Amino acid sequence: MRPQVVEAYGVRLRLSRLSDVADTVAACADPVIRRFLPGLPDPYTEENARWWITEGAPAAWATGGAAYAIADPATDRLLGTAGLSNPVPERRQAEIGYWVAPWARGQGVATAATRALAEAAFAAGIVRLELFTREENAASQRVALAAGFGYEGLRRSAGQGQDGRHDLLAWVRLADDPPGPAPRQLPDLPQGGLTDGVVTLRPLGPDDVDVMHRLHTRPEVVANQAPPVPPDRAAIERRCRLSASQWLTGELARLLILDAATGEPAGSCGLSVSDPQAGEGTVGYALLPQWRGRGYATRAVRLLAGWAFGPAGLARLAAGTVPENVASHRVLEKVGFRREGLLRGRLPGLAGTRIDDLVFGLTPDELR
C-alpha cells in the first residue's frame, strides 16, 4: 500500500486538491509540457483540471497506480505531478512519469520527486520501474539518470504524439540498484567544454545545423566518409537535435571545434563508444577549409583523447581512415596514434563497391 503523503529530498508528494486548479491550468498551458504530453486537452481549462483532480487521479490509484501532486513543503504550492502507471502486478513493475511547472524548473524538483516516488514504490513491493522519454527530451533524460535510472534501450514507435508515432528511450531502475545517480559512460565536459587556449571543444547543439551542413556536405569531407554520400539537411538537423540525448545514453559525444580567440566554428569531432565492455572508443573529425593547416585538427583530437582517457575512462581509442587521406593520417600520428592494419573492403562504397579501412590505435601511455 503506497502512502498518500511522501516527504523526501525537499519535496512533498500528496494527493491533488481543488486548490491546485489554477496552478494546474497554468502549468498545462506551458509549451514544453504540451510538447512532451501531447494528449493534454487543448486548450487546457479549469474543467479539465477539476476532472483530473476529482476523477483522473483517483482512477490511477484505483487501478493499482499512483497520482501525486508535487508540492513545496514550505508553502504547499503545486510544483508538478508524479505518478505510477501501467502496473503489472505479476511482474511487480510499473512505469513512472512526471511533469514540473515552469515556475519550479531548474531546482531539482523532478529529480527529487522521482527519487522519492521510486523509493516509496520499492517499499510497497515494486521491483522494477520503467521511465520513458522522447529522444529529444534531454532534460527528462538527465532527471532519469540523476534519479538512478539507467539507460536500457530504444523502444521503436512506442509513443503516440500529435505528429504520429515516435520512438521512446527506456530508462530502468531496480529495487536493489545502488542508491544515487546512475553511472554514465560519457560524463559531461568540465565547465561545459575543453580548451588548450587555441581551440575549444563544446557539445554540438540544435543551433549548429548550418555550420554542420556546410562542413559535412563539402566534397572533400564526403569523400572520406563511408559510404561517400552527402547527408541531407534533415539528417543534419536530426544529428544536432539528438546530440545531447546520444551523449546521455553513452553512445556518442559530438562536439564542435571552435577557434578559442573568436569562438568561430572551425569544424567538428566526435567520440563513439564502439566497445563498452572492452573500454574502446572511436574518434572522427573534420575541418572547414579556412582552418586547415593550422594544427587545429591535431589540437582537437588531442583534447578529445585526453578527455576520453581521463573522465570518460576509456582504455583505448581507434580511428579509421581511407588509405588515401594522408592529411588525416598525419593528424593521428602527431597525437600518438599508430597504424595497426588495413581492413580490406570493410566499408560500403558507391554502387555496390567496398572501401578499404586503414585503422589507427592509441592507448593512454602513447598520447602525446
Per-residue pLDDT of the chain (368 residues; tens, 9 = 90+): 578 899 999 999 999 999 999 999 999 999 999 988 888 998 999 999 999 999 999 999 999 999 999 999 999 999 999 999 999 999 999 999 999 999 999 999 999 999 999 999 999 999 999 999 999 999 999 999 999 999 999 999 988 877 788 899 999 999 999 999 999 999 999 999 999 999 999 999 999 999 999 999 999 999 998 899 999 999 999 999 999 999 999 999 999 999 999 999 999 999 999 999 999 999 999 999 999 999 999 999 999 999 999 999 999 999 999 999 999 999 999 999 999 999 999 999 998 999 999 999 999 999 98
The CATH H-level (homologous superfamily) assignment of domain 6-174 is: Gcn5-related N-acetyltransferase (GNAT) (3.40.630.30)
* DSSP calls for 1-26: ---S-EEETTEEEE---GGGHHHHHH
Q: What is the pLDDT of residue 1?
A: 53
How far is it, in rounded angstroms, from Cα 342 to Cα 334? 20
How far is it, in rounded angstroms, from Cα 356 to Cα 149? 41
* 3-state SS, one letter per residue, for 109-140: HHHHHHHHHHHHHHHCCCCEEEEEEECCCHHH
The arrangement of strands across the sheet holding 164-174 comes to 6-8, 11-14, 66-71, 78-88, 93-100, 128-134, 164-174, 150-161
Q: What is the pLDDT of residue 226?
A: 86
Question: At 210, is the secondary structure helix, strand, or coil?
Answer: helix
Q: Is 236 left (phi over 0), alpha (psi -120 to 50) or beta?
A: alpha
Q: Phi, psi at residue 136, to the nearest 5°?
A: -85, 0
Domain boundaries, the chain: 6-174, 190-366
Q: What is the pLDDT of residue 166?
A: 87
Sign, Cα dihedral of 328, 330, 334, 339:
positive
Q: What is the pLDDT of residue 257?
A: 98
The answer as to CATH 3.40.50.12500 being correct for domain 190-366 is no
Of 40, 248, 252, 25, whose CA–CA distance to 133 is shortest?
Answer: 248
Q: What is the pLDDT of residue 159?
A: 86
Q: What is the pLDDT of residue 160?
A: 82
Q: What is the pLDDT of residue 164?
A: 80
Q: What is the pLDDT of residue 3?
A: 80
pTM equals 0.92
